[in-house]
Amino acid sequence: MEKIIYSILYFFLRFLDWSYRYTYLNAENINLAKAKHPQGVYLLAAWHQSLIPLILFLPKSRYVALVSASKDGEYVAQTLINFGQLPVRGSSTRGGKAGMMQMLRELKNGLPGVMTIDGPRGPAREAKAGIIQMAKISGGTIVPFSAMPQHFFCFKKSWDQFRLPYPFSKIIINIGTPIFVDKDIDEDGHNKAKNQLEEAINLGELTCATYLNNRSKMAD
């Protein structure tokens, strides 16, 4: 039964992907991040709220993704597998150390990484420490990922105010300026990097929203 659910979810997302109209802002920042690492490794960072645009963006490359070890995380993990990605299981609340170690091994092998940095249970839009530590050890640059659908349903009772973009919606995706984390960073620098990342993703969302607003005014 679960395999049937995973298949339905996969084909539903494939349909959504086919129906969406994407605009990418500052996409060149991916190449800038790749250039900062000998193997082109970087870490894509997003809010859990934008999970659907994030998953649909990933097939442009192959990523290792840190996914919650919870039962709900299994749906995300299987969806990522169906989209050709490599999930590793662990989070801040369960199996985090083992998940991070496995992810670091894959980063060392040259795969870029991806994380929803406020998951698995929030607080929403507040970055966990793991991605800073991951960047510090791997040398991979952090790339802020922001998305704003023109039309979406918001699950207001969910911890992250999860967004499901409506079929045939425009989706604006902004790739933020890469953030480098020095291997000798101290606690103060760690906190500054975390704050910088939070601000970058939020600024990216504002950039996406402004783009949509300007395009709407032009259409009028």
pLDDT digits (tens, 9 = 90+) for 123-133: 999 999 899 99
CA of residue 38 relative to chain centroid, distance: 22
> Could you tell me the pTM of the whole model?
0.94
Residues 190, 193, 195, 197, CA torsion sign: negative
Architecture of domain 2-219: 3-Layer(aba) Sandwich (3.40)
Pull the structure tokens for residue 211.
Answer: 């783009």
pLDDT digits (tens, 9 = 90+) for 110-160: 999 999 999 788 899 999 989 999 999 999 999 999 999 999 999 999 999
pLDDT digits (tens, 9 = 90+) for 166-178: 999 999 999 999 9
Residues 75, 81, 82, 85, CA torsion sign: positive
Single-letter code of the amino acid located at 48: H
Spans of all domains in the chain? 2-219
For the chain, list residues with pLDDT below 70: 91-96, 219-220
Q: Are 33 and 143 in contact (CB under 8 A)?
A: yes
Q: Concatenated DSSP letters for the chain?
A: -HHHHHHHHHHHHHHHHHH-EEEEESTHHHHHHHHTSTT--EEEEE-GGGHHHHHHHGGGS--EEEE-SSHHHHHHHHHHHHTT-EEEE--SSSSHHHHHHHHHHHHHTT--EEEETTTTT-STT---THHHHHHHHH-PEEEEEEEEESSEEEETTSTT-EEEEPTT-EEEEEEPPPB---TT--HHHHHHHHHHHHHHHHHHHHHHHHHHHHHHHHH-
Write down the pLDDT at residue 171: 98
